[in-house]
Structure 1
Amino acid sequence: MEIRQIQYFLMLCNELHFTEAADKLGISQPTLSQQIRVIENELGTPLFDRIGKKTVLTEAGRLFRQYALQMVQQLENAKAAVTELTNQNVGLFRVAVLPSDLDYRLTPLLIDFHRDFPKTKVQVIPSMNIEELVLDNEVDLGVGLAIQPDSRLERIHFYTETYCLFVNERHDLAEKELVHPEDLPKLPIVMYPQGFYGRDLIDSWCAQHQVSIQPILETGSATSLFQFVKENIGVTIQPSQLITHFESLGIRAIPIMDSPSRQLEMYYRTDKYLNVAVRTFMERLRDYFVK
Structure 2
Amino acid sequence: MELRHLEYFLMVSKELHFTKAAEKLGISQPTLSHQIKMFEQEIGYSLFNRIGKKIELTKVGEIVQQEALNIQGSIQSMSSQIEAFTKLEIGELKIAVLPGEITDLVSTLCIQFNQLYPNIKVFIQTTDQVEKAVLENRADFGIGFHLNQSSLLQVTKLYDEEFYLISNQSNGEQRVSFSSVLDGPLILFPSMHQCRKILDKTSYEVGKQLEPIVETSSIESILKLVRSGVGRSVVSRTLYEFYDTEDLSFQHIENPSLTRSVYLVMKKNCFINYAARKYIKLLVREIEKLCFHTDKDSITSLRSSIL
Asked if these proteins are the same fold (TM beyond 0.5), I'd say yes
Residue 284 of structure 1: which of 242, 264, 282 is its match? 282
CA distance in 1, matches of 2:40, 2:101: 49
CA positional deviation for 1:205 = 1.9
CA drift at 1:87: 1.2
2:26 paired residue number: 26
Structure 2, unpaired ranges of 5+? 290-307
Give the 3 Å change call, closer, same or farther, for CA 126–62 of structure 1 in structure 2. closer
Paired residue secondary structure (1:186): coil
Q: Provide the rounded CA distance (Å) in 1 between the counterparts of 2:56 and 2:125.
A: 32
Q: In the superposition, relative to structure 1, how do residues 265 and 89 fare at CA in structure 2: closer, same or farther (>3 Å)?
A: same
Distance, in Å, in 2 between the alignment partners of 1:129 and 1:43 is 30
1:37/1:210 Cα in 2 relative to 1: closer, same or farther (>3 Å)?
closer
Measured after TM superposition, the shift of residue 234 of structure 1 is: 1.0
Q: Which residue is equivalent to 1:234?
A: 231
Q: In structure 2, what is the equivalent of residue 4 of structure 1?
A: 4
Number of equivalenced pairs: 287
Whether 1:161 aligns to 2:158 is: no
Partner of 1:209: 206
TM-score with structure 2 setting the length: 0.85
Structure 1: how far apart are the matches of 2:87 and 2:29?
Answer: 38
In the alignment, the residues of structure 2 paired with residue 257 and residue 60 of structure 1 have an alpha-carbon distance, to the nearest angstrom, of: 51
CA distance in 2: counterparts of 1:100 and 1:61, whole angstroms = 35
Distance of 1:108 and 1:40 partners within structure 2: 47
Distance in 2, Cα, partners of 1:23 & 1:243? 47
| Structure 2 residue aligned with 1:273 | 271
Task: State how 1:74-89 maps to structure 2 within 5 Å.
Answer: 74-89=74-89
Counterpart of 2:219 in structure 1: which amino acid?
A
Secondary structure (helix, strand or coil) at the match of 1:30 reads helix
- In structure 2, distance between residues paired with 1:148 and 1:282: 21
Cα separation, 2, equivalents of 1:190 and 1:51 = 50
**Whole-angstrom distance in 2 between the partners of 1:50 and 1:181:** 54
Residue of structure 2 in register with 1:252 after alignment: 249
CA drift of 1:137 comes to: 2.7
Equivalent position SS for 1:162:
strand
When residues 239 and 224 of structure 1 are mapped into structure 2, their CA distance, relative to the original with a 3 A threshold, is same
Using the TM superposition, give the Cα deviation of residue 241 of structure 1 relative to its aligned residue in structure 2, in angstroms: 4.6
Preserved contact between residue 162 and residue 262 of structure 1 (Cα < 8 Å)? yes
TM-score, with structure 1 as normaliser: 0.90
8 Å CA contact 1:159–1:286 kept in 2: the answer is no
Give the Å deviation of 1:108. 4.4
**Secondary structure at 2:209 match in 1:** coil
CA contact (8 A) 2:165 2:252 kept: yes
Q: Does the 8 Å contact 1:167/1:236 carry over to 2?
A: yes
**Preserved CA contact (<8 Å) 1:8 1:36:** yes
1:156 deviation in Å? 0.8
Unaligned runs of 5+ in 1: none
**RMSD, matched Cα:** 2.1
Relative distance call for 1:218 and 1:52 in structure 2 (3 A) is closer
Q: CA deviation at 1:224?
A: 1.4
Deviates more, 1:179-188 or 1:195-204: 179-188
Q: 1:54 to 1:189 in 2, by over 3 A?
A: closer
- State the alpha-carbon separation in 2 of the partners of residues 49 and 128 from structure 1: 29
| Residue identity matched to 1:234 | G
Partner of 1:186: 183
Q: Give deviations 1:111-147, integer Å, cap 9, x for gaps.
A: 2222222221012233333333333332222112131
**For 1:253-273, what per-residue CA distance to the aligned partner results, in whole angstroms no more than 9, with x for missing partners?**
111224200101111222543
**Structure 1's 31 and 199: CA in aligned 2 closer, same or farther, altered over 3 A?**
same
Matches of 1:176 and 1:140 in 2, distance apart? Answer: 44
What letter is aligned with 2:103?
D
Work out the CA distance in 1 between the residues paired with 2:179 and 2:45: 64
One-letter identity of the residue aligned with 2:9: F
1:136 paired with 2:133, answer: no
Identity of aligned residues (%): 31
